[in-house]
Structure 1
């Protein structure tokens, strides 16, 4: 276990930055930026109990399609379907979009036309996670994307029903590895899942007499069936961690080992020896998980960033400037 912990610590190396993408990018052009965004983040954190999970999910879904460029924020257009329209994004919560809009409005009032929506989304996500527990030194300088397509979201965002091989293929295509996959899956210590995303584990397993996934703890499966009966409405939800649903901790990994995970994608982390060992380590060493999570979030926040003359600085986060 100690050897594996050392390997994880060695693997967690924060990337270097450039003059176009670094934490001090707005020091001269918008010196009060961090405070402006933090005030909005804190207010929304206090108003909305599940907000860190909602914003984190929005950020993840943005970065996995076209890179971290704010393309998920574009609203519906009559000309084409955008990322937000995709079935992969149908459960994203409007409150998260509203928070980014509020932060953008506050920033524009002080620094008009300077700060991208992509950077504001990244900053709010980091702020929400600092308020919940972990943080990292966020590089800035992202430009907003000018493309948002629903079919790209469906193709690029991992499915909650994916197995380990499919998840790894997806993560590897983004330059992320097994450690990042297990680590970022730990964000499921926060928030909720819709019953429809895991109902097949309760009623659709042909190899069991009652259709229940045998990897589920029987008492947990019974609880889930009570909360998510057959034909449950599409709005029916379940907390990932009922014991502490709004606390960022390592309970996700403890629950996973105990057969108390919701999604097939979660359970799949136990399918290989390396991923299973990382789960076991994080279940026993919270500080190591927090350290690894900060590093993986830093890597995630750098995916496909547009800098320099690429993209644009949107005036409004839900519209391209050309609209």
Structure 2
């Protein structure tokens, strides 16, 4: 689909990564090529599983990228998003994640294959991180070196989700503060927002403050293109079912690319948290750069994903390597 297959690309670049492990290892015990000795086929197994799933259902690529984001922002990148509810409700059962977040079966399939090949070696948290990268490759040809070595957590609480996932109603100031609390810069925030180039949003996430009741005063948000607003109102009338969804990116809804930033320039950001990036001088400049030079965004997106993938990770003897991703050992 994008020239070299991901597996072929990995075969070309992993030896180089391993050669320079000393310079790519993170300070938290993560490193590129982490499974090169202990489970050399790990990344290939995950990439093939993701490729098959995305081919069958292209929409799942957005969910797998979002899954990594939601995993890392709650309790750090520890695979807690994958745990099923037991004595308490788990993260996946929060209204923020359910029913919009999908792809758990894909992670399960990859993990089962890994356990058959090298039992007890590859963490579920790392499977999520690799699957996010592989989804970006399938959806847009993006590729970056993913550090491995995360350990799995044993706790997942639905009650912790809302306070740790940014709301679609946040403005630039709140988004910047929120990402800073996760050790991510404003530039990282704008870059990662480009993931909204693919995926969908439920009407309920934007109709109130964008189409029908801006600032509680009625009417639509003046920062939204009027023609785009009419199209959205046709799909999301005030009586719309909460199950109705629309693409986040009206230009290239199934391709992960920098057209998201072109949407913002044209006042076609779907969520308030998208279009607000045009309301601040610094984020405005970054949006324009990304729209004009998409290669810059592609490079920075990989860097920001690596940085996000290191949030509050457990490594070494911390946590565990789950045998099944839905339950602790």
Q: Does 1:127 align with 2:134?
A: yes
Contact 2:63–2:199 (CA under 8 A) maintained in structure 1: yes
Task: Please give the per-residue CA displacement for 1:267-311, whole angstroms capped at 9, x wherever unaligned.
Answer: 111121001110111111111111111111110111111100111
Aligned pair partner of 2:107 in 97, 100, 107: 100
Contact 1:216–1:261 (CA under 8 A) maintained in structure 2: yes
Contact 2:28–2:315 (CA under 8 A) maintained in structure 1: no
- Of 39-48 and 127-136, more deviation after overlay is shown by 127-136
SS at match of 1:238: strand
Contact 2:24–2:32 (CA under 8 A) maintained in structure 1: no
CA distance in 1, matches of 2:104, 2:193: 22
Q: Does 1:233 align with 2:241?
A: yes
SS at match of 2:32: coil
Contact 2:111–2:325 (CA under 8 A) maintained in structure 1: yes
Contact 1:261–1:267 (CA under 8 A) maintained in structure 2: yes
Contact 2:251–2:263 (CA under 8 A) maintained in structure 1: no
Sort the Cα spacing of 1:160 and 1:91 in 2 relative to 1 into closer, same or farther, 3 A. Answer: farther
Match of 1:116 in 2: 123
Match of 1:57 in 2: 66
Match of 2:90 in 1: 82
Q: Does 1:248 align with 2:256?
A: yes
CA distance in 1, matches of 2:204, 2:50: 30
CA distance in 2, matches of 1:278, 1:41: 31
Q: 1:18 deviation in Å?
A: 5.5
Q: How many residues align?
A: 305
CA distance in 2, matches of 1:104, 1:312: 14
CA distance in 2, matches of 1:41, 1:88: 23
CA distance in 1, matches of 2:24, 2:279: 30
Contact 1:57–1:92 (CA under 8 A) maintained in structure 2: no
Match of 2:20 in 1: none
SS at match of 2:201: strand
Q: 1:33 deviation in Å?
A: 1.0
When normalised by structure 2's length, the TM-score is 0.89
Task: Please give the per-residue CA displacement for 1:170-213, whole angstroms capped at 9, x wherever unaligned.
Answer: 100111011001000011111111110001110012587x6111
Provide the aligned C-alpha RMSD in A. Answer: 1.6
CA distance in 2, matches of 1:85, 1:154: 11
SS at match of 2:51: helix
Match of 2:186 in 1: 178
Task: Please give the per-residue CA displacement for 1:83-137, whole angstroms capped at 9, x wherever unaligned.
Answer: 112222124333x111100100111111111111001111111111122221111
Q: 1:54 deviation in Å?
A: 1.0
Match of 1:40 in 2: 49
Give matches, 1:18-29, under 5 Å. 20-29=29-38
The higher relative CO (CA closer than 8 Å, separation ≥ 6) is in: 1
Contact 1:15–1:299 (CA under 8 A) maintained in structure 2: no
SS at match of 1:88: coil
Q: Does 1:153 align with 2:161?
A: yes
CA distance in 1, matches of 2:196, 2:38: 36
Contact 1:58–1:92 (CA under 8 A) maintained in structure 2: no
Q: 1:64 deviation in Å?
A: 0.3
